[in-house]
Amino acid sequence: MKRILASVFVLAACGSSLLAACSSSDDSSSSTGGSGGASAHGGSGGDSSQAGSAGKGGSSGHAGSGGTADGANEAGQGGSSEIGVGGAGEAGEGSSEAGSAGADTAAAGAASCDDARKQLIGSVSTVASGAVTALDTTNGVTTLYVDGSAGGIASASASAWLFVDLSQAAKAPLDDVSSLTSTAWDLAFKRPVIYTNDGDGGPGTGGAALIAKDFDAVTASDATGVNLGTESFLDASCTPNLDLAGSVETTFSSWYDYNPTTHVLTPAAGTWLVKGGTGKLYKLAFQTYYSTADGQVGTGDGGTYLLKFGAL
């Protein structure tokens, strides 16, 4: 039975309240465009014999479209995108002006999913205390100890993520907040959850995928045609994407197998292809979730990784 672990992240608070914050509403049709609801699409302009006014963009997603009319129409005002960038208004049929992004709705749209992400991932403004130590490097392969225990299960929700720079085989001195504007990290660790620097994870060009091949046999050619997934923590309605354990679903959600009798996590077979925050490609294999600082297999409640990786 895979990944049925008591999650560090108890996400009941991200249920109905988040859905309410991101719900959509329909737009009316009239001689002038209806105003867009708080949804992924802006309102459409009305259909009439007169020139219809364009609908205003909603608080997220696409711009409002111009009215379908015989005369010239104004362009719709752009709605805010989910990351707070105003969308361009679509021009109406006939001669029209370019739409402009609405500053107020842009702020509202950005805030809705930003708040949902904070509830899901956290937003701790201190650097994690866990250590990242290169124990050995031989023939381009580094054995790395990563303390992503976050102070233990009880303390994890209030602890920062641990960010790792694979190019330096070291901890990146970043907190949850500063990581959102930095490409100087590749992987984030907290307890059994790991994510990459891309998509909802960060501003980088990262990604990861598991392939069924032994670590030593993996070369750069193995990445050809492989989809290195993008982090998508929230759907278009700001609803959390969760794995079977109730944790945020990431590209690394399948890194372990869980034994429900012993409650032990064991690395899944195969090798991970990892693209770092700046696009550099690596191969990576987990060795244990229960490592001691000197690289031995220990006891305890886990979160202390021993892994090996090499650049491709």
**Chain position carrying tokens 């749209």:** 109
- pTM confidence score: 0.67
Residue 62 confidence (pLDDT) above 90: no
| Lookup: tokens for 285 | 């294999």
Question: CA torsion 242→198→121→283, rounded to 10°?
Answer: 70
The residue among 83, 45, 85 whose CA lies nearest residue 67 is 45
Structure confidence at residue 300 (pLDDT): 86
| Lookup: tokens for 98 | 């370019």
Contact 255, 286 (CB under 8 A): yes
Structure confidence at residue 92 (pLDDT): 38
Residue 228 confidence (pLDDT) above 90: yes
The residue among 8, 1, 2 whose CA lies nearest residue 303 is 8
Amino acid identity of residue 263, one-letter, is H
Judged by phi (left if over 0) then psi (alpha if -120 to 50, else beta), residue 150 lies in left
| Lookup: tokens for 106 | 């842009």
| pLDDT tens string 229-285 | 999 999 999 999 999 999 999 999 999 999 999 999 999 999 999 999 999 999 999
Contact 201, 295 (CB under 8 A): no
Contact 193, 265 (CB under 8 A): no
Q: What is the DSSP letter of 170?
A: E
How far apart, in whole angstroms, are the C-alpha atoms of residue 231 and residue 199?
5
**Chain position carrying tokens 């901890």:** 171
Q: What is the DSSP letter of 73?
A: -
Contact 103, 153 (CB under 8 A): no
pLDDT category at 111 given cuts 50, 70, 90 is low
Listed range (3-7, 113-117, 138-142, 307-311) with the worst mean pLDDT: 3-7
Structure confidence at residue 192 (pLDDT): 98
Higher pLDDT, 296 or 18: 296
How far apart, in whole angstroms, are the C-alpha atoms of residue 259 and residue 73?
63
Domain boundary assignment for the chain: 13-121, 123-311
The residue among 209, 210, 25, 195 whose CA lies nearest residue 117 is 195
| pLDDT tens string 138-185 | 999 999 999 999 999 999 999 999 999 999 999 999 999 999 999 999
Structure confidence at residue 63 (pLDDT): 38
